[in-house]
Amino acid sequence: MKLLTVNFLTCAVKACKTSTLSFPLHFQDAELEQREVEYNPTFLHNILPRLEWDAISTTAAELGFTNLPSSKPNGNPQAEEDHRVMRDLHTLLLETEVMEGRMVCGNCGHEYKIKEGIANFLLPNHLV
């Protein structure tokens, strides 16, 4: 599961739909794998406005990626600092995959297991 995906996921439990604590989901016991992907600055520039930066920063910090800035970069390819941040963002979002572990809702505590890079979002009937 690529980390880019996590920026668009929230808890699926009905009771969590109105809670701000249900996003982002928090990783526990995550086993990460790096897979090299060709750097695509155009893709990053286009996806940057859609990223919830606080969620990305939280996820990055929880997984040990401490080199992202606290504020979203402008995506200016001419700026040296933005170029470095965009490279780091590329590594985090596109090259880093969670292969095993769990994602946990900060509101209800429900756990979504990740096995072989695939998260299981099927809920038991009593939570739907």
Q: What is the 3-state secondary structure (H, E, C) of the chain?
A: CEHHHHCCCCCCCHHHCCCHHHCCCEEEEEEEEECCCCCCHHHHHHHHHHCCHHHHHHHHHHCCCCCCCCCCCCCCCCCHHHHHHHHHHHHHHHHEEEEEEEEECCCCCCEEEEECCEECCCCCHHHC
pTM of the predicted protein model: 0.87
CA 4 from chain centre, in angstroms, equals 5
> pLDDT tens string for the chain (128 positions)?
999 999 999 999 999 999 999 999 999 999 999 999 999 989 998 999 999 999 999 999 999 999 888 888 876 666 677 788 899 999 999 999 999 999 999 999 999 999 999 999 999 888 87
